[in-house]
Amino acid sequence: MTIHVVGNVCVDTSFRLERLPMPGETLNAAAAGEGVGGKGANQAVAATRAGASVTLWAPVGRDAAGDGMESVLSAEISELRLSRLDLPSDRSVILIDRHGENVIVTAAACAEAFDPLAMCPLASTWCAGDMLLMQGNLGADVTAQCLKAAHAAGLFTVLNPSPLPAEELDLAAVSLLIVNRPEAEAFTGETHADRAADRLRAMGVATVIVTLGSEGAFVLDASSWLQIPAEKREAVDTSGAGDCFAGTLAGLLAQCVPLPDAARLATRAAGLAVGRAGTRASFPTRAELAVLTKTLKLENM
């Protein structure tokens, strides 16, 4: 099975601060850094490190930033399908306080213009039994069309709709929905994860996972529900934790790891990422994921 990750790539510029600034306030950062990010790229890397076969379909500009991102990502993702657009490559600025909380602002001209079904041979490359993994960075109509086409072609479709689109999103073509607590509430109006998951399944989603930050995750499918606790860790940087969870989970599911075990491992992987600085750089390595997998197998014996 191949995971087709369709999403965005961007240059991440991060600033570490004692606290987040107030409106109109200027603060000096304790540290700054730059790297390759974007939810599509992040999740593709996490799935690859989990051992899955991954193809990343994403747009970049015809500029030096696009060249640099291609060079970095090609070292991790063997099937890299970047579409070059006559636009500046996307960029994000991430502010992180001493508690690890963050705010992010993104300039997303490439992601907003990207239509993979029209611009790429995506639909002629995927096969029945493959997986489509998408996020919320592309246009809502484009996302819906990709999910519908993939579902009709026999793919297992995974959606992590962050950031949430302003338009209502049809979830009927989604096999697995991964949302955090605020996103679940935005979809359903329910503040409790279990009730929100019930409502989301009623909207046509086969399986729902609501991630709960330091409280772990709630998993609901047609036959069972599961509350997964998170290990207690000091948060250094929460940016990218959701991408680490979604990508790791997808990568494990693509290798036929049962959903409960995949969700437990993804929760632990995200916990490791939260305890480190950076987004993609904080994700567990293949070796670290192997240790987590061995530990879980011993616990299940």
The tens digit of pLDDT for each residue in 165-185 reads: 877 888 989 999 999 999 999
User: Residue 61 has what pLDDT?
Assistant: 97
User: Residue 291 has what pLDDT?
Assistant: 87
Dist. CA 229–CA 243, nearest whole Å: 18
User: Residue 102 has what pLDDT?
Assistant: 82
- pLDDT: which is higher, 214 or 193: 193
User: Residue 297 has what pLDDT?
Assistant: 66
At 233, list the tokens.
Answer: 């860790």
Tell me the percentage of the chain whose pLDDT exceeds 90: 67
Going through the chain in order, the beta strands assigned E by DSSP cover 2-6, 10-16, 31-37, 53-61, 79-85, 91-96, 102-107, 131-135, 156-160, 176-180, 207-211, 217-220, 225-228
Report if pTM > 0.85: yes
Q: Give me the mean pLDDT over the 52-68 stretch.
A: 97
Dist. CA 10–CA 70, nearest whole Å: 11
CB atoms within 10 A of CB 22: 8
Q: Is the pLDDT of residue 136 over 70?
A: yes
Which helix or strand (DSSP H or E) is residue 286 part of? helix 286-300
User: Residue 213 has what pLDDT?
Assistant: 86
Residue 298: pLDDT band by 50, 70, 90 thresholds? low
Q: Give me the mean pLDDT over the 215-243 stretch.
A: 84
Q: Is the pLDDT of residue 301 over 60?
A: no
Taking the alpha carbons of 180, 267, 243, 238 in that order, is the dihedral positive or negative?
positive
Residue 55: pLDDT band by 50, 70, 90 thresholds? very high
Q: Is the pLDDT of residue 14 over 80?
A: yes
User: Residue 232 has what pLDDT?
Assistant: 76
Q: Give me the mean pLDDT over the 104-119 stretch.
A: 94
Averaged confidence pLDDT in the chain: 91
User: Residue 168 has what pLDDT?
Assistant: 80
User: Residue 272 has what pLDDT?
Assistant: 87
For residues 63, 53, 137, 143, the Cα torsion angle rounded to the nearest 10 degrees is: 120
User: Residue 149 has what pLDDT?
Assistant: 97
Q: Is the pLDDT of residue 253 over 90?
A: yes
Residue 78: pLDDT band by 50, 70, 90 thresholds? confident
Task: Supply the angle between the helices 193-202 and 181-188 in degrees, to the nearest 10.
Answer: 50
Q: Give me the mean pLDDT over the 256-267 stretch.
A: 93
Residue 279: pLDDT band by 50, 70, 90 thresholds? confident
The conformation of residue 231, written as its DSSP 8-state character, comes to P
The residues with which 211 forms a beta bridge, in sequence order, are: 180, 217
Give the right CATH number for 6-18+32-300 from 3.30.365.10, 3.30.390.10, 3.40.1190.20, 3.30.70.2190: 3.40.1190.20
Taking CA atoms, 264 is separated from 76, 143, 299, in Å, by 24, 28, 12
Closest by CA to 225, choosing from 184, 276, 263, 191, is 263
The conformation of residue 43, written as its DSSP 8-state character, comes to H
CB 145 within 8 A of CB 227: no
Closest by CA to 214, choosing from 290, 103, 101, is 101
